[in-house]
Amino acid sequence: MSGESPNILFFFPDQHRDDWLGLNPDLPLRTPNIDHLVESGVRFTRAFCPSPLCAPSRACLASGKSYEQCAVVDNNQNYPLEQPTYYQKLNDPRLPNEGRLV
């Protein structure tokens, strides 16, 4: 894969419990597409979110900052456009191919 950027899919749904997948034998669910992604990728089973609210939690992820520092305290606030994001960093063309993720 040298010289190629990896193919990354970050599945980040709202209100989706980690155990509500077809991979859970205790539930009669069918989620074949998600199951395939899990089987061929990475599954984080001990992850947590920094806020029970959507906007602050996503802002923490985007900024790489804690809840207290992400500048979005509730769902009525927009992400500050002047605050850089981790996603921008991933797409920085100045990074070598080995360091770029998109």
27 Cβ partners below 8 Å, 6+ apart?
A: 19, 20
Instruction: Give per-residue pLDDT as tens, 1-10.
Output: 456 666 777 7
58-to-1, 75, 98 alpha-carbon distances in Å:
30, 10, 26
Instruction: Give per-residue pLDDT as tens, 20-77.
Output: 888 888 999 898 998 888 888 877 778 788 898 999 999 999 999 999 999 999 999 9
Tell me the whole-structure pTM to 2 decimals. Answer: 0.67
**CA nearest 21: which of 47, 40, 46, 43?**
43
pLDDT of residue 60: 95
